[in-house]
Structure 1
Amino acid sequence: MSEGFRAQLAQLLKARVPVLYVESHEEQRVLAEIVATARDSAQVRTPRGVWTWSATEGLVGPDGAARNGTTSPAAVLDVILRLDESCVVVLRDLHPYLGCGGRSGEPGVIRRLRDIAAAFRSGPVPRALVLVSPLLCIPPELDRDVTIVDFPLPAEREIRVVLENLIAANVSSGRIRIDLDGVGRERFAKAAVGLTLHEAENSFARAIVNDGVLDMHDLPVVHEEKRQAVRKAGLLEFVDADIDLADVGGLETLKRWLAKRDGAWLAAAGEYGLPAPRGILITGIPGCGKSLTAKAVAATWELPLLRFDVGRVFAGLVGSSEQNLRTAIRTAEATSPCVLWVDEIEKGFRADAAGDSGTSARVFGTFLTWMQEKTRAVFVIATANNIEGLPSELLRKGRFDEVFFVDLPTRVERRTIWTVHLNRRLRAPAAAGALVVDEPLLTELCALTEGYSGAEIEQAVVSGLFEAFAARRPLVKDDLIRAVANMVPLSVTQAERIGALRDWATTRAVAATAAEDWDSSPGVAVTHTGGGRVVEF
């Protein structure tokens, strides 16, 4: 990253661009890069002294001496205008005087900046003014005079240096133990990408002081630091994922596909020439595990899970939707590697969206372009219930790696789902007459719930437990049978819609259920064959 910023800055200095703007919270890091570039004759040909200013220190020259009476912006800008030597002047936190933070801009300051821009552009010696602030604030009057210079957050290798230095400093003292191999250290460094160097160092230090041991169990501490950054952005939600793919009943084809891409964002995958996987679209019948799978992937891959509510993009002031989407994308990329979960994507990006002066189309176009061209390790999992509302552009290859269809669970999958939910909720010790989860029980329950979704099976377990709780007795089989009998499943209430979904998926999506899990045992009537193309991963 440093080389890219230095090269761009050197080019702008040699071109005598008069006023530059760097948006960054890492003030000291930016200043160090500016000093290194301005003093390097190989990059700028004419080395320049670097002056700095802040409202607390005033103007400080290259010799380290502060100039009296220069703490106010108006005073320092007058002094800068009279500088007649080759120099770079760095003004820190001038944005409040330009109209940021709820304040109105000071006309005198803005006018003086325009004067400096004109003087520096045509003066006899090379001079440049650099504004460094955590907020980007450029008044309309300065739009044509100011050039924005991107200063990205630290790259993985820079964070790796911080991690290694912290480990070396503490291991030598004998106070901690490190239980990380090369891959583990790479995962820690990648997990901290998107943080400033100070934030990354703080998260590593917190992980160490937890128990005096630094190992893979401390990775959530780094994710917690990222949670803070995501919350401040406001458009994404950091979701706790406390399940893994083993807790998802069935969907074996989908799970095998995901298992083969675990760790695909690491350097080892790059050595194979592999790019980071883009993402998947999971469509199908409501209540059959689409959202659960998104949570399980993040937990299994040990990555942060960000939930993207497209509705938030369109909230707020008129004209802010495009900016909101760009902010959400930047936040996700800064948090990479991560899983970005776009739940019910059809409600945000509809093929028939109209009546909003083209805002939806522009936002959708920006999202599609990002999906096509993104290079950061942001794995997108989009879920959809109503595929008819999805624009065709979203479904073509290149946006998502694969489109999966999740159908009602098969007999094999229902057995797994019943087992998962019963074992999860039956926590009390076995008592006289209490339910015993065995093969005959599971066989009977699977037969009774033909056409039921996973969510409906879970609700049957919960309803049965309420019956038992009301009578203050253990759960028995009749509680579950009664709960199933009292429930009308989606396969009955929405039979036509489910049939249409299956017809659509036959040629457009891959079946998430493995072929061997379909109800095709000898002597058993095949009442469900699933939707989607049958493939093996």
Structure 2
Amino acid sequence: MADELEFKSLLSNLLKARFPYIYIPTWEEDRVLSVINTISKDPNLIKTSRTVYIWKLTTGLTKNGKNVSSDTKSPLKALEYIEKTDEPAIFIFLDFHIYLGSTGMCNPDPQIIRKIRDLSQLLREGKSPKNVIFISPSVMLPDELQKEVSIVDFNLPPVEDIMNLLEDMIVVNQPGKIIIDLSPNEKEHIAKSALGLTLQEAENAFARAMVEGGNFNIKKLDVILEEKRQIIKKSEILEFINSDLQMGDVGGLQNLKRWLEKRNKSWLDSAKHYGITAPNGVLITGVPGCGKSLIVKAISAMWQLPLLRLDIGKVFSGIVGSSEENMRKAIKIAEATSPSILWIDEIEKGFSGGGGDGGTSSRVFGTFLTWMQEKEKPVFVAATANNIKMLPSEFLRKGRFDEIFFVDLPTYKERSDIFHIHMKKRLNKEVMGDFKLNDDFYSYLAKLTEGYVGAEIEQIVISGLFEAFSEDRPIKIEDFEKSIKNTVPLSVTQSEQIRAIREWANVRAVAATSADDSADYIKEIGESELKPDKHGIDEDIGSSRGGRAIDL
């Protein structure tokens, strides 16, 4: 409720100070009208009680639900009525923006703008305190009114209001045919998942969740996320990623997985008992094709939070000043849908600190850095980078990200796990024939693929299946051996880059691979079976591990 109390305090102070025009951009007319009505009669907030008038194009000015005059449907007549009114009052104009700015259908009305300016001094100095409040979904102000109007943000409903709405709907529907199966913690989880929605949107989401299957439980979180997806669809900068990828679909990286698991649900109130807050984010760097993007997608499923991808390229545009505004808009949407995960893929390409753009990149970068340092909403930033050396040093200091993880070439055990995942996902009895999948088979392929990244292992499986498909027969082990033989791994083509990344990560990042997997890397497969010269693989690249081997 803190946001609403701050809004009441700010708005009441503006009214007492006789600010003539106040503009509140919001979709929630009913909720903001309720707050204004409360302020108008509360002696603790405003000394002189005020009458509330509401103007709509369809009804004109109304007082206590009744028209004050039949001709006040005209905006000019409504403004003239304010001029003649002697009692202390608050005049609320709904959707008045169509007269104030270009909407594609209507240009600013010069007569109305002039009348608003003429009325300004009277509102400030008149005998009775009077204020005008504009309520509209969007802000449209002509240059002539920039100095006359004060804009006040009205935040979306806090979790307390959403929880009250949820409880009311449960009470109303529980005696009927709807089966409610939610623990107190699950109710909190659902209410916090609905943050970023208006009360009407939240009510629609809860109602839909209840009617689908005739029950309401924690599994209905997807319905809430679908409502949030509608918000993101209207943004060109953010993309809602709908992924069914599970953590079990990502081979290895046990250290990183455990770190993420420990921070699950840390945005709930139960975490406050331990004196902790929701994590800021994680930066995952390392060798290309080793699963950085995959594990970010899997976080969404593990934490049951919406995953939003920020396209840095769309943030920058040709109009001066619009790039900074695009970044602020993206941040605002991410916070509106919080708790959420904000994914920035290959972040070094957007925030490398390059010049030549008049300082636009630096300003956008500064906006993002400041937000990461000071953000209060639970937005978890998951960033991936292939060449972390391109990032400015201030981006990497503690406080921006909670941890920096390094994803190296997969170990023997990790490669075996990756083969297992892709084989299980693609093979069926018809394709397999008499072929048997077992640990020995995965181990054999893992031995043959020293120095291969996860993406290359996936393509080896796919290429092997194409061999069998082209001959219309079940698979054979030779299919995968042939595919391996024909693949030149990244550890050969980019050996210098990989070595440089490892040198950086060895003292600055935590290894995503568990200490146990790294320690057994050589021991499990044996030096004689590594065959580092098979593709000319550098032995240092094939065998050494980068990143601090801390077991989390």
State the TM-score, normalizing by the size of structure 2. Answer: 0.95
Aligned to 1:508: 508
Query: Quick one: which amino acid aligns to residue 368 of structure 2?
Result: F
1:419 matches 2:420: yes
Q: Structure 2 CA distance, aligned partners of 1:221 and 1:28?
A: 24
Q: Identify the residue that residue 99 of structure 1 maps to in structure 2.
A: 101
Q: Tell me by how many angstroms 1:431 deviates.
A: 5.4
- In the other structure, the counterpart of 1:390 is 391
How far 1:441 moved relative to its partner?
A: 1.4
1:490 correspondence with 2:490: yes
Contact 2:342 2:382 in 1 (8 A): yes
Confirm or deny that 1:532 pairs with 2:547: yes
The farther-off stretch of 43-52 and 420-429 is 420-429
**Counterparts of 1:22 and 1:278, CA distance in 2:** 30
Using the alignment, how far apart are the partners of 1:358 and 1:430 within structure 2? 57
Gaps of 5+ in 1: none
Displacement after TM superposition at 1:93 (Å): 0.5
Aligned 8 A contact 1:81 1:119 in 2 = yes
Instruction: Supply the AA of the counterpart residue of 2:415.
Output: R
> In structure 1, what is the equivalent of residue 131 of structure 2?
128
2:144 to 138, 141, 165: 141
Separation in 1, partners of 2:220, 2:253 = 30
Shift of residue 387 of structure 1? 1.3
Within 2, Cα distance between the matches of 1:182 and 1:276? 20
SS in 1 for 2:234: helix
Query: Using the alignment, how far apart are the partners of 2:60 and 2:279 within structure 1?
Result: 50
CA displacement at 1:149 relative to structure 2? 1.2
**Aligned-pair distance for 1:429?**
4.2
| Structural mapping, 1:127-276, within 5 Å | 127-172=130-175, 174-276=176-278
Whether the 8 Å contact between 2:412 and 2:524 is mirrored in structure 1 is no
How far off its partner does 1:523 sit? 7.8
Which position in structure 1 is the counterpart of 2:356? 355
For residue 408 of structure 2, what is the aligned residue in structure 1?
407
In 1, Cα distance between equivalents of 2:207 and 2:46: 38
Letter in 1 for 2:250: V
Q: Which amino acid aligns with 2:16?
A: K
Report the 3-state secondary structure (helix = DSSP H, G, I; strand = E; otherwise coil) of the residue aligned with 1:233: coil
Question: Helix, strand or coil for the counterpart of 1:70?
Answer: helix
1:110 aligns with 2:113: yes
In the alignment, is the contact (CA less than 8 A) between 2:287 and 2:498 conserved in 1? Answer: yes
2:71 matched to 1:72? Answer: no
Q: Map 1:22-101 onto structure 2 (within 5 A).
A: 22-62=24-64, 64-101=66-103
Q: Which residue in 1 is equivalent to 2:467? A: 467
Q: CA deviation at 1:31?
A: 1.0
CA distance in structure 2 between the aligned counterparts of 1:199 and 1:536, rounded to whole angstroms: 43
Amino acid at match of 2:356: G
Q: How far apart, in 1, do the equivalents of 2:457 and 2:83 lie?
A: 75
8 Å CA contact retained: 2:60, 2:70: yes
One-letter amino acid matched to 1:140: D
Matches of 2:152 and 2:432, distance apart in 1 = 70
Larger deviation, residues 476-485 vs 152-161: 476-485
- Kept in 1, the 8 Å contact 2:433–2:475? The answer is no
Change (3 A) 1:150 1:523: closer
Q: CA, structure 1 residues 523+162, in 2 after alignment: closer, same or farther (shift >3 Å)? A: closer
Residue type of the alignment partner of 1:218: K
Q: Is the 8 A contact 2:430 2:474 kept in 1?
A: no
Give deviations 1:284-342, integer Å, cap 9, x for gaps: 01000000010001111111110111111003533200110000000000111111110
| Cα distance, 1:87–1:513 mapped onto 2, change above 3 Å | same
Over 6 Å off, 4+ runs: none
SS of the equivalent of 2:72 reads coil
Q: Secondary structure at the match of 1:408?
A: coil
Deviation at 1:528, TM superposition (A): 1.7
- RMSD value over aligned CA atoms? 1.3
Aligned residue number for residue 368 of structure 1 = 369
Structure 1 residues 100 and 273: CA distance shift in structure 2, 3 A: farther
Distance, in Å, in 2 between the alignment partners of 1:55 and 1:266 is 43
Report the more deviating stretch, 441-450 or 201-210. Answer: 441-450
| Structure 2 residue identity aligned to 1:65 | N
Q: What are the ranges of 5 or more consecutive residues in structure 2 without an aligned counterpart?
A: 531-541
Q: Note if contact 1:261-1:277 (Cα within 8 Å) is conserved in structure 2.
A: yes
Give the drift of 1:63. 6.2
Tell me if the contact between 1:57 and 1:66 (Cα under 8 Å) persists in the aligned partners.
no
Q: Count how many residue pairs are aligned between Structure 1 and Structure 2.
A: 534
Contact 2:410/2:451 (<8 A) preserved: yes
Q: Aligned partner of 2:441: which letter?
A: L
Distance 1:156-1:481 versus aligned 2 partners, 3 A rule: same
Specify the code of the residue in structure 1 equivalent to 2:507. Answer: T
Inter-CA distance 431–520: structure 2 relative to 1 (3 Å threshold) = closer
8 A Cα contact 2:412 2:525, kept in partner: no
Residue type matched to 2:382 in 1? Answer: I
Structure 1: distance between partners of 2:525 and 2:244: 40
Kindly provide the amino acid, as one letter, of the partner of residue 259 in structure 1: E
Identity, % of aligned pairs?
50
